[in-house]
Amino acid sequence: MPASIRPSQNIIRKAIFDIIGHDLAGLSFLELFSGSGAVGLEAISLGAGEVVMIEKDAKCHSVIEENITLLKLDPYDKDRPKIETYCMDAFVAVKRFSEKKRKFDLVFIDPPFGRELAKKALNLLSRYDILQPNCTVIVEHPKREILPEKAGRFSCFRQKTYGSSVLSLYK
């Protein structure tokens, strides 16, 4: 696994789905800054109808593709959830999804720590129309990066700390 990947800890992955639920049947899930794609792959296992993973780093993106192959998840199998991966900047991806009028039910944002990207990504999402009306946005960020209670049309409804990481949930 490339050194640049910082996979979400198992406890955090479990917490994400304990909070949003374990039945994602038919929902569309967007993972920005996907790293290894572990959270998106978990969403697939919980029945998400569509999972889109965005990762800018080519080595990390290759790991996502390898994981999809290892799990025998054929993105072209009509009987399986729709899986898309893109090797591109998350901010560019959000803008493109808006242009294409794509909408998502759940969004998970886990940018590299130490670059203040969580707040920037949250603000970007609030400016582009890619979210379903009852969308939940989950942001994993370091404790030292304080996210606002309100960001555009989003309001934080829950925060939970796990070691040096925080999960902030917005509606």
Average pLDDT over all residues of the chain: 90
123 versus 74: the higher-pLDDT residue is: 123
Strands 150-151 and 154-162: antiparallel
pLDDT band at 118 (very low <50, low <70, confident <90, very high): very high
38 versus 78: the higher-pLDDT residue is: 38
CATH topology for 10-170 is Rossmann fold (3.40.50)
Predicted confidence (pLDDT) per residue in 89-112, tens digit: 999 999 999 999 999 999 999 999
pLDDT band at 11 (very low <50, low <70, confident <90, very high): confident
> From the DSSP assignment, how many helices (H) and strands (E) are in the chain?
5, 8
For residue 8, is pLDDT > 60?
no
For residue 59, is pLDDT > 80?
yes
Which helix (H) or strand (E) element contains residue 124?
Answer: helix 117-127
The sign of the CA dihedral 70, 71, 76, 77 is positive
Predicted confidence (pLDDT) per residue in 20-30, tens digit: 888 999 999 99
Which pLDDT belongs to residue 151?
A: 87
Which pLDDT belongs to residue 153?
A: 84
For residue 76, is pLDDT > 90?
no
Alpha-carbon separation of residue 127 from 124, 163, 171 (angstroms): 5, 31, 14
Instruction: State mean pLDDT over 67-81.
Output: 75
Domain spans of the chain, in order of start = 10-170
> HSE on the CB side for 48, CA within 13 Å?
25
